[in-house]
Structure 1
Amino acid sequence: MSNEPTVKRWTAKRKAAVVMDIFKGKTTVAEVARQHDLTVSAVEGWIEEAQRSMENGLRARPKDIREQYESELRET
């Protein structure tokens, strides 16, 4: 069992910190999943969400949340 305290609620801030650690190579998806009793697919979902948000944030004219959601619906 990990020495990490049990996380009862995964806030956006906590998810972002974990995703950044993965991006920086400080940890892996499998390690995060194992340490926090999460599924690998859940952590990968956070990564995908972060990548979509970063792409929108780097646009010259970012879409608002509604536009981004509607655009994602059209793409699927």
Structure 2
Amino acid sequence: MALSQGEETTPNRRRALLAVTPFLLLGLADVLLLLFWGIEPLWAFAILPPILFCSVLAWLAFSTDFLDDRT
């Protein structure tokens, strides 16, 4: 991949954060919604690890430009 004059060669963590934040907030809002509905807290927190895991994977993919050469 050829870099233009203004592009950096370091990982773009800010772009990754901007891409992942809406999905992370939506997942956390879902956990809060389940807690306010009165469902047992165990079920609400059972979905928290997959939400966090997918968010971390997405952040890694965006921050390291893993997907740039695949599109």
TM-score normalised over the length of structure 1: 0.35
Greater relative contact order (Cα < 8 A, sep 6+): 2
What TM-score does the superposition give when structure 2 sets the normalisation length? 0.37
